[in-house]
Amino acid sequence: MKSAQQSLSRLRAAGPNIHDKEREWAQELVDLIESVVGKWSATVGLERINANVAIALKELSRNVVVAQRAIEMARTIKSPEEVKFIVASLRATEVAVGKLRDSIAPGLTENQH
């Protein structure tokens, strides 16, 4: 299990290490899926996947397809509970954007604050 600091470091810009970060993320995705369902041998549909991550998954011999259309169709009808989650998410986003607004300044990189 990763520490909070290790997880936080993943949120920072990858810069010139983007290829390594994408491969690490692909491996973490494989590990997560296999921890839930066992050995990943079936085709898995993912949405909004980065092209380089998809390539890394293929290099790891994992079958991945774009599932965006199927997922969008499933999202067309909202249950009352989903609406509650959306409202809560919007409130959390508003708080986060407020904190972001307070912490940015000209000349700072994403890793500075």
pLDDT digit string, tens, across residues 64-74: 888 889 888 88
DSSP string covering 16-32, please?
A: GGHHHHHHHHHHHHHHH
Q: Give CA–CA dist 111/13, Å, rounded.
A: 7
DSSP string, 4-15: HHHHHHTTS--G
- pLDDT the model gives residue 11: 52
Q: What is the residue type of 56?
A: A
pLDDT tens, N- to C-terminus, the chain (113 residues) = 555 555 445 556 778 888 899 999 889 988 988 898 888 888 888 888 888 988 898 888 888 888 889 888 888 888 999 999 999 999 999 999 998 888 888 888 777 76
- pLDDT at 107 (0 to 100): 87
- The pLDDT score that the predictor gives to residue 9 is 57
- Report pTM: 0.52
Token pair listed for 5: 């600091």
- pLDDT given at position 6: 55
* Alpha-carbon span 100 to 84, nearest angstrom: 24
Q: Taking a C-beta distance cutoff of 8 angstroms, is the pair 19, 51 a contact?
A: no
Q: Write down the pLDDT at residue 17.
A: 84
Where along the chain do its domains lie? 1-74, 76-105
